[in-house]
Amino acid sequence: MRFLGPRSISSLLKTALDVVYYGLYSLIAVVVALSVCLLSVPNLAAEAVRRFNVDASLSAGSMAFMLMAFGASLAGYLLITHWTRQIFRTLSEGDVFHPDNTIRLRWIGFGLGALEVFGYLARGVASGVFHLHFEPIYGLRAVTTWFAVLVVFVLAEVFKEGARLRQEVDRTI
Amino acid sequence: MIKLKLAEVLARKRLSIVELSDRTGLSVRDLEILRDQQALALRLRTLDCLCRALGCQPGDLIEYAAEDSE
How far is the CA of A116 from the CAs of A67, A109, A119, A134, B25, in angstroms? 17, 11, 5, 15, 56
Region A127-148 average pLDDT: 79
Nearest-Cα distance to chain B for A75, in Å, is 43
Quote the mean pLDDT of chain A.
87
Domain-by-domain residue ranges, chain B?
Answer: 2-64
What's the whole-model pTM score? 0.75
Residues B54 and B9 sit within 8 Å (Cβ to Cβ): yes
By CA distance, what is A165's nearest residue in B?
Answer: B40
- pLDDT tens per residue across span A102-126: 999 999 999 999 999 999 898 888 8
Say yes or no for a CB contact (<8 Å) between B26 and A168. Answer: no
* Chain A contact probe: residue of B6, B40, B50, B51 with most A CBs at under 10 A: B40
- DSSP character for B62? E
Name chain A contacts of B24, Cβ cutoff 8 Å. Answer: none
Domain-by-domain residue ranges, chain A?
Answer: 9-172
The whole-number pLDDT of residue A24 equals: 95
**For domain B2-64, which CATH number applies: 3.30.465.10, 1.10.3720.10, 1.10.260.40, 3.40.50.510?**
1.10.260.40
Is A171 within 8 Å of chain B by CB?
yes
